[in-house]
Amino acid sequence: MKRLALIAFTVGLTLSSCSSDDAQLPIENTVEVPQNYTFERGNATTVNYEGQTTRLQMSAEILSSFTDFENATAESLSNMFSNENAPFSSAALNESSKSVKSKVAASTLYFSTNTVESTEIKADFEAFIEEQMTVVKTNKDLLAEPGVAGQIAAGTGERYVNGKGLELNQAFAKGLIGGLVLDQIINNYLTQAVLDEGDNRINNADEIVEDGANFTTMEHKWDEAYGYLYGDPSIPSANPNSVLGQSQDKLLFDYLGEVDADPDFAGIAASTFDAFKKGRAAIVADNYEIRDEQVAIIRENLSKIIAVRAVNYMQGGKTELAEEKYGSAFHELSEGFGFIYSLRFTNNPATNMPYINKAQVDEFKAQLLAGNGFWDVTPETLDSISEEIASAFGFTVAQAAE
């Protein structure tokens, strides 16, 4: 039966060259897009992304422990990152075979033949942990100054920075938005290499579901992409935008809400959700052309979230620095640093490459951290980085800054 479908498929492909003669052929595979992200087979849902929810929960616990100097150590945080030695407060997380680290810089598109860089990136995250729990922790009761880690006043409270003014928890968290969440969504699960792996198309057409599950492999891969964006337990699966800007998510969905709240980018959350819905419906209808059109929309939108936030924080930091509000400035620059780190994981559907490549990201990081880092950085540097990012994505610095 599989073979039959394959032959039919091959014949269809082989003869596509004569389609000009057949312009009035009926269009097959009409895609019916539901109101919500609700898909069923035999009255039971086919949507499942618990693995993504697990990793998002692990990430949340790492982030909340990152400044818990009383209880956390470099070892305990590193254990959480790798899920070793039962590091989490929840037994379910401890018993899971999954870890955050194993999915950092682990996409098929960018890293399957580039484990050298993948390993360097994982090591960067380990280094953020290590420095936070050694250098910064040691100095937590000292005032930070150029070249010296410590605490720094910011608004009504304090922040903890390293000798360059960088909050390592922000570098880690915002870096994870690109290195884990975005990379897995757009460069892994939504790639043809993953969606169409092996016999996925044939099995999807035949509605052959995975063992013990109600979904085809292709449906599930799509849902796993969906789960990295919308999988925080505080977000309703069917209608996630109903809590846009109000969920407990601290990663990509949170910043989707932030960017959507900027009038210059309003509608990006609806457009992203619609693309997820339509692409999933297209899979049900075996319409892979429409599916891949939605992939392009999702790639562009989610990549743009990273870029807009990076520019926004560079500009916010510049304003605060001008007012000599160092703590607040460093906070914004630290978030911005993490988003810049994440740019390497963006994907421009027109080129299938990052909008900003690794070499450029490395150059931005070097500029930001030169000398005493944020203590020394000039408004010109922040502007030139902002301009370069904005122009690569086709928006203006002013649009992102407000």
Partner 1 sequence: MIKISKFLFLALFVFAACTSDNGGEEPISGSENSFDRKAMLANWADNIIVPSFENFASSTQDLQEKTNSFTINPSEENLVQLRSAYKKAYLDFQTVSMFEIGKAEELNYRNFLNTYPSDVSTMVNEIESGSYNLSLPSTYNEQGFPALDFLINGLADSDQEIVSKYSSEEYKSYLLDVSKRINSLTIEVNASWQGTFRDNFVNNTSSSSTGSVDKFTNDYVLYFEKFLRSGKIGFPAGVFTGEPSPGNVEALYSQDLSRELYIKSVKSVQDFFNGKYYGSNQTGLSYKQYLDYLDSMKDGQILSTLINNQFGTILSQATGLDQSLKSQVQTNNTEMLQAFDELQKEVILLKVDMMQALSISVDYVDSDGD
Where does this chain bind partner 1 (CB under 8 A)? 1-12, 14-15, 18, 21-22, 25, 28, 49-52, 54-55, 82, 98-99, 101-102, 104, 112-116, 118-119, 122-123, 126, 189, 193, 197-199, 202, 205-207, 217, 220-221, 224, 227, 286
Closer CB to partner 1, 24 or 71, in the complex: 24
* Residue 113 CB-half CA count within 13 A: 1
Q: Would you call 96 exposed, middle or buried from its count of C-beta atoms within 10 A (0-12, 13-18, 19+)?
A: middle
- Least separation in angstroms between CB 252 and partner 1: 17
Contacting residues for 376 by C-beta, under 8 A, at least 6 apart: 146, 370
Residue closer to partner 1 (CB basis): 15 or 261:
15
> Closest approach of Cβ 70 to partner 1, in Å?
28
Of residues 52 and 294, the one with the C-beta less far from partner 1: 52
Q: How far apart (Å, rounded) are the C-alpha atoms in residues 130 and 168?
A: 10
CA distances to 260, 279, 312, 399 from 309, in Å:
11, 26, 5, 11
| Cβ count near 379 (within 10 Å) | 14
The set of residues, in sequence order, having a beta carbon less than 8 Å from that of 244 and lying 6+ positions away, is 253, 256, 257, 260, 269
Q: How far apart are CA 171 and CA 336, in angstroms?
A: 8
Find the shortest distance in angstroms from Cβ 261 to partner 1: 31
* Cα 300 from chain centroid (whole Å): 12
CB of 136 to partner 1, least distance (A): 23
Minimum distance of partner 1 from residue 335's CB (angstroms):
25
Q: Please, which residue, 25 or 359, has the CB nearer to partner 1? A: 25
* Interatomic CA distance for residues 350 and 53, integer angstroms: 30
Least gap, CB of 31 to partner 1 (angstroms): 15
Radius of gyration of the chain (CA): 23
CB atoms closer than 10 angstroms to residue 157: 8
Q: How far is the CB of 331 from partner 1 (least distance, A)?
A: 29
Closer to partner 1 by Cβ: residue 205 or 238: 205
Shortest spacing between CB 116 and partner 1, in angstroms: 5
Burial of 286 (0-12, 13-18, 19+ CB in 10 A): middle
Nearest distance in Å: CB 60, partner 1: 17
Identity of the residue, 24 or 156, whose beta carbon is nearer to partner 1 in the bound complex? 24
Judged by beta carbon, residue 49 or residue 337, the one nearer partner 1 is 49
Q: Which of 96, 69, 70 is nearest to 80 (CA)?
A: 96
Residue 103 main-chain phi, psi, to 5 deg: -105, 10
**Is the distance from CB of 256 to CB of 269 less than 8 angstroms?**
yes
Task: Rank residues 21 and 323 by Cβ distance to partner 1 and give the closer one.
Answer: 21
Minimum CB distance to partner 1 smaller for 249 or for 335: 249
At 192, the amino acid letter reads Q
